[in-house]
Amino acid sequence: MKQTSVTTDAPCWVELGTSDPAAARAFYRELFGWREDDGARPGDGDYVRMLMADTPVAAITPRYASRQPTAWTVSFAVADADATAARIEEAGGSILKEPTDLLDQGRFAVAADRSHAVFILWQPRAFEGSGMFNEPGSLGWVELLTRDPAGSTDFYPAVFGWSVAPSEHYTQWGLAGRDFGGMLVMDEGFPAEVPPHWLPYFAVADVDNTVDRVVALDGGVLMPAYSMPGGRRIAVLRDPQGAAFGVYSAPAEG
């Protein structure tokens, strides 16, 4: 069963921290059909929410520190950011930004797992997160790339209560009967300087056409389009500023 709405302890939002927010907004407008939310709220500053069919699906922001990479970051919805932050530290992870209120929108914290893959906790209030999942132009899957699969399969169930469905080549994360993500082991094919990280996948109607459009828009292809067992087709791409993201299309059953 696919995720269709914000669910506690599952992915709820993605945001891109980039070296050139204006250029990134233009790229994703052309690629996915997103548009900027012109209803800025107090405290938003340079934080720009992007809409798909009038529904919030992502945010694009400047990098807030010189050492911050140009990259997408995945947020997970939680019932209590402070309690979840405590579980993260108990499980061997770290809190990079302590739980903080964002006006009436929600409460958030920035965290890292044992191998330093970074993610965000989001305790929703006025803003829940993405209003759309698994529809073209919206988040459909998240993937942890790590060199510590054993530590990760201990850490994330302890923090979020996820189920773990391992196979010979891939592990899937789930919650309440919904698989929403997976884990890929980083082998020698990954450059040593690439850190463990969470990679978002966006649903698209046609993966091959999306790959062609990324190239035409001066992006790049990190993994060419590939058909997986069951009919899902995927590719991993990068935008012109260097942020990696995945795309996928799936049969109607998903």
Exposure string over 221-248, b if 16+ CB within 10 A, otherwise e: eeeebeeeeeebbbbbbebbbebbbbbb
Identify the pLDDT of residue 237.
98
Domain 11-124 matches domain 139-249 at the CATH topology level: yes
Report the C-alpha gap between 157 and 160 in whole angstroms. Answer: 5
User: So what's the pLDDT on residue 36?
Assistant: 94
pTM here is 0.95
Task: Tell me if 109 sits within 8 A of 102, measured CB to CB.
Answer: no
Query: Any idea where the domains of the chain sit in the sequence?
Result: 11-124, 139-249
Residue 250 has a pLDDT of: 74
Residues shown for the chain: 254
CA gap 12, 79 in Å, rounded? 12
Question: Does domain 11-124 correspond to CATH entry 3.10.180.10?
Answer: yes
| Burial of residue 192 (number of CB atoms within 10 Å: 0-12, 13-18, 19+) | exposed
User: CA-CA distance, 195 to 121, in Å (whole number)?
Assistant: 20
pLDDT at 254 (0 to 100): 43
Q: How far apart are CA 190 and CA 193, in angstroms?
A: 8
CATH T-level topology, domain 139-249: 2,3-Dihydroxybiphenyl 1,2-Dioxygenase; domain 1 (3.10.180)
Query: What does the alpha-carbon distance between residue 157 and residue 173 come to, in Å, rounded to a whole number?
Result: 9
How many CB atoms neighbour CB 88 within 10 A? 24
In tens digits, the chain (254 residues) has pLDDT values of 578 889 999 999 999 999 999 999 999 999 999 999 987 654 456 899 999 989 999 999 999 888 889 999 999 999 999 999 999 999 999 999 999 999 999 999 999 999 999 999 999 999 999 999 999 999 999 999 999 999 999 999 999 999 999 887 889 999 987 899 999 999 998 999 999 999 999 999 999 999 999 999 999 999 999 998 878 899 999 999 999 999 999 776 54
Check if the beta carbon of residue 143 is closer than 8 Å to that of residue 74.
no
Residue whose tokens read 């759309």: 132
- Going from the C-alpha of 171 to that of each of 73, 142, 162, the distances in angstroms are 20, 12, 12
* Contact present, 200 and 142 (Cβ < 8 Å): yes
